[in-house]
Amino acid sequence: MNGLVDAVRAKLNPSCIVDSIVKGRCGVSLADAPRPHVIVDLDEAGSPLGPTQTKCDFLFFADLNNLAMPIEIKDSVPNVVQATRQLQAGARAADRLAPRDLDIVLQPVLVSKSMRRKQGFELRKQRVQFRRRPKRIQRVSCETQLTAAIEGS
């Protein structure tokens, strides 16, 4: 049986598969990221979402725990409502790419250089729906390891 990564990779145009999660001057480290994994840049040509559709920046899939992570990167103080909409669009894309027979662990991630206290409170209230389950958004700072965003780590 193929794992999540193989199943997702088979549905993708290779031009949108990337090796890093960086946008502008902000990104996350993949040093301890679970392997095997595949990273989808939703802004690249061949992305499963069209150029005018609302979307997050990246989707990260790993075989470990059937993990799917929509990731939105902001190199300034984020607009939490807008970022939540973008992560929700990423969750819908992950749902279409992931096989329905797998129990997927979704973890939406907001990466930003800074977060004001007001935005932090607002972020804690936000949820992304995935397969009828609400998921809390994890926020990490730029240059942090991606594994810091996995709940329970």
pLDDT tens for each residue of 77-103: 899 999 999 999 999 999 999 999 999
When pLDDT is cut at 50, 70 and 90, the band that residue 33 belongs to is very high
* pLDDT number for residue 51: 76
Eight-state DSSP code of residue 70: E
Distance CA 92, CA 112 (A): 22
* pLDDT number for residue 151: 59
Distance CA 128, CA 126 (A): 7
When pLDDT is cut at 50, 70 and 90, the band that residue 76 belongs to is confident
Cβ contacts of 9 within 8 Å, gap of 6 or more? 17, 38
Instruction: Give the alpha-carbon dihedral of 26, 28, 31, 37, to 10 degrees.
Output: -120
**Segment 106-151, tens digit of pLDDT:** 999 999 998 889 888 999 999 999 999 999 999 999 999 999 998 5
Handedness of CA 21, 73, 120, 61 (dihedral sign): negative
Distance CA 126, CA 137 (A): 7
Sequence spans of domains, the chain: 4-149
Share of the chain above pLDDT 70, in %: 97
| Between 45 and 30, the higher pLDDT residue | 30
